[in-house]
């Protein structure tokens, strides 16, 4: 497994997006999550990316239970979690980037996972009415307290990254990035490279669209996030499935799973890009890891992008409600 740098650490070029441990993409069991983590150890995958809000702690509890059953594993892993999303008294979603909130949430995350500190702590969503310099200072205080080794942000603009990095080194920015979502190429990929910041790419297989078994309308109807997502609503879903048939055909021609080819493309976008796919299937996880072994030539990249040229996707990547929090910059 080749390595990628996140801050001062080197971890695997592929990570696990542990949102799938909390039934975001369908029912799962703790044993299923343990099996994914077992496979990760076998295959050399060492970065685990989770959040306090994934299943309201369920993802972190699963990781903690697995760590307790595998006491030698913690030293081999690079563990990231997030904080900053909360709710007001009426139950409305809001964002809190104050030190008091972030520290309280991180303390609970550490307790759930049974560890003393995380390797990376992200602000999950930026609090718009708080200067990012102040939010960065809050994260820096958690480094000084020994509760995280490095800091990051999820879904921020390149300009915000540069402001934050001027206050304290930012190890990583997490953003959706795949053949289906290429907006990061309009400044974020470049800013991360300029500053030596890892770009942690979530949903690198397009929430199943870039796999050999994309979710159909029946499956989407059972998943609250996807049934509200424009790309998975009619008529966009049918159009997107038809468009990605070209990609599946190309992957078959190249003799690799579509998911592996999608991962290989993301990795080819820069040595600082680290994809974190999520899955509930060990078989699918092995397909994803296969993407790390691909050595794509310039001709291969050209063929992939001819099958799925920039702008091919039908529908926005988020609904109006889902766009609350992420920073738009293009």
- Give the number of other Cβ atoms within 10 Å of residue 201's Cβ: 26
Instruction: Verify whether residue 121 is a known catalytic residue.
Output: no
- Give the number of other Cβ atoms within 10 Å of residue 131's Cβ: 13
How far is it, in rounded angstroms, from Cα 57 to Cα 119? 18
Element (H, E) at 12: strand 9-12
Contact status, residue 298 vs residue 44, Cβ threshold 8 Å: no
Give the pair of three-digit tokens for residue 185.
Answer: 């190429």
How far is it, in rounded angstroms, from Cα 107 to Cα 87? 18
Contact status, residue 82 vs residue 123, Cβ threshold 8 Å: yes
What Cα–Cα distance (Å) separates residue 5 from each residue in 141, 180, 194?
A: 22, 25, 14
How far is it, in rounded angstroms, from Cα 267 to Cα 274? 7
Give the strand pairing for 85-87 and 3-6. unpaired
How far is it, in rounded angstroms, from Cα 49 to Cα 47? 7
| Catalytic choice (25, 54, 122, 318) | 54
How far is it, in rounded angstroms, from Cα 148 to Cα 173? 16
Active-site residue numbers? 54
């Amino acid at each position: 497994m080749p390595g990628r740098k996140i801050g001062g650490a080197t971890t695997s070029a592929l990570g696990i997006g542990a949102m799938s441990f909390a039934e975001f993409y369908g029912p799962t069991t703790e044993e299923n999550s343990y099996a994914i983590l077992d496979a990760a150890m076998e295959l050399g995958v060492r970065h685990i990316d989770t959040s306090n809000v994934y299943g309201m702690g369920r993802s972190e509890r699963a990781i903690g239970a697995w760590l307790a059953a595998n006491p030698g594993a913690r030293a081999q892993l690079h563990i990231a979690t997030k904080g900053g999303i909360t709710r007001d008294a009426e139950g409305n979603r809001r964002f809190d980037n104050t030190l008091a909130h972030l520290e309280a949430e991180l303390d609970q995350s550490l307790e759930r996972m049974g560890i003393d500190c995380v390797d990376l702590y992200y602000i999950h969503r930026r609090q718009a009415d708080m200067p990012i310099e102040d939010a960065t200072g809050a994260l820096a205080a958690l480094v000084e307290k020994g509760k995280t080794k490095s800091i990051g942000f999820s879904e921020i603009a390149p300009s915000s990254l540069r402001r934050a990095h001027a206050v304290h080194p930012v190890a990583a920015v997490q953003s959706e990035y795949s053949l289906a979502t290429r907006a990061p190429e309009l400044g974020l990929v470049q800013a991360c490279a300029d500053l030596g910041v890892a770009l942690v790419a979530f949903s690198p297989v397009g929430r199943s669209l870039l796999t050999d078994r994309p979710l159909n309308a029946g499956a989407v109807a059972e998943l609250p996030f996807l049934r509200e997502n424009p790309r998975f609503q009619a008529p966009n879903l049918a159009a997107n499935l038809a468009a990605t048939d070209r990609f599946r055909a190309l992957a078959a021609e190249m003799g690799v799973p579509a998911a592996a080819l999608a991962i290989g493309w993301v990795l080819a976008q820069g040595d600082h890009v680290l994809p974190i796919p999520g899955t509930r299937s060990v078989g699918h996880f092995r397909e994803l890891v296969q993407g790390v072994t691909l050595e794509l030539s310039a001709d291969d990249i050209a063929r992939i992008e001819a099958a799925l040229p920039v702008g091919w996707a039908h529908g926005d990547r988020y609904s109006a409600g889902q766009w609350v929090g992420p920073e738009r910059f293009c």
